Amino acid sequence: MRIRITDIQRFCTHDGPGIRTTVFFQGCPLRCVWCQNPECQTAEPCLRFTASRCIGCEACAAVCPNEVHRVSGGEHEVVRARCAACGRCAEACPTAALGLAGEGWEPGEVMSVVKRDRAFYEASGGGMTLSGGEPLWQAEGARALLELARREGIDTAVETCGFVEWAVIESVRDAVGLWLYDVKHVDPRRHRRMTAESNERIISNLDRLLSAGAEVILRMPVIPRSNEGEGAIEQLAEWLRGRPGIREVHLMPYNRLAESKYRSLGLEYALAGLEAPTEEELDGLKARLQGTGVRVRVGG
């Protein structure tokens, strides 16, 4: 079995308690307009090109079998329609201007990286977090990693959008110590406008997890003009009052750090020019939600 992984980040402190290693899975069923990891959306590998690193050496063009790269007059054009994501150009590039997101890993290979920092997990209460994309979109790979971690005595967390069949969640539930569960909006129509999908399945799965006694931290991205307005927050507050099993709520403020990723993938960034919420605005949202009795914090 090979798992499509876009990145493995060590020494993370925002993807669950303690120091963690976060494994980013490729593939996601949602299309959030603010997505921070667009390279994780597709199920197949994709080519990244960072123009500022390119020195025009044409090593990529020399090895590409499909004439994807056209280098002339200091300009480097990537003809993505021809790209088969074979990775030859990325291997040949001397400056890492080219890279392939979504390479295949064996579960044991991933775990060998995760285990390197066991001492830090034990000292900080950390462990391994599966993220993405949507890690449960590759259910067998996620289950294999979680079971390997449990055998090694490594704490586990899963960051999920919840848009999968309940049977998938049930198949990994016993191997997950903590769920970092995303809810973008509690209104199904507005959720569809933000993500291209409704939220009925997401909320149904969350309620079933809570009924089963799972440890759940709710994560809500704060997106200006989309889900941070007074009506949306009051709706969320009322919704939270009916779910006392949620351990915490984390407000995840929108930022523009992913814009460069979109450029490197040849994609348009839909929220160009949108300003991040201010610290004062975030504090106001936090105060309004704390009235529900649930602990609220800004950030992961």
Fold match, 3-43+103-298 / 46-101: no
> What proportion of the chain, given as a percentage, has pLDDT over 90?
86
Q: What average pLDDT score do residues 197-215 get?
A: 97
Q: What average pLDDT score do residues 268-288 get?
A: 91
Phi, psi angles (nearest 5°) of residue 124: -110, -5
- Taking Cα atoms as reference points, which of 183, 196, 139, 132 lies closest to residue 165? 139
List the structure tokens of 105.
């890993």
Radius of gyration of the chain measured on its C-alpha atoms: 20
pLDDT, position 68:
97
Q: What average pLDDT score do residues 53-65 get?
A: 97
pLDDT, position 212:
96
Residue with token string 């009924």: 211
Query: Domain 3-43+103-298 classified CATH 3.20.20.70?
Result: yes
pLDDT, position 226:
83
Burial of 279 (0-12, 13-18, 19+ CB in 10 A): exposed
* Cα–Cα distance for residue pair 73/102, rounded to 1 Å: 31
Helix (H) or strand (E) holding 25: strand 20-25
Q: Confidence band (pLDDT; 50, 70, 90) for 230?
A: low
pLDDT, position 244:
87
List the structure tokens of 281.
């605005």
pLDDT, position 119:
97
Rounded to whole angstroms, what are the CA distances from 235 to 40, 203, 231, 243?
30, 14, 6, 13
Domain boundaries, the chain: 3-43+103-298, 46-101
- Taking Cα atoms as reference points, which of 246, 191, 240 lies closest to residue 214? 246
* Cα–Cα distance for residue pair 222/252, rounded to 1 Å: 6
How many of the other CB atoms lie within 10 Å of CB of 245?
A: 15
Tally the residues of the chain.
300
Instruction: Provide CATH code, domain 46-101.
Output: 3.30.70.20
DSSP three-state, residue 230: helix
Of 160 and 289, the structure prediction assigns the larger pLDDT to 160
- Taking Cα atoms as reference points, which of 19, 37, 20 lies closest to residue 28? 37
pLDDT, position 232:
82
Q: Confidence band (pLDDT; 50, 70, 90) for 300?
A: confident
What confidence tens digit (pLDDT) does each residue in 98-151 have? 999 999 999 999 999 999 999 999 999 999 999 999 999 999 999 999 999 999
* Cα–Cα distance for residue pair 13/283, rounded to 1 Å: 21
Give the chain's mean pLDDT. 94
Residue 180 has pLDDT above 80, yes or no: yes
* Cα–Cα distance for residue pair 152/163, rounded to 1 Å: 29
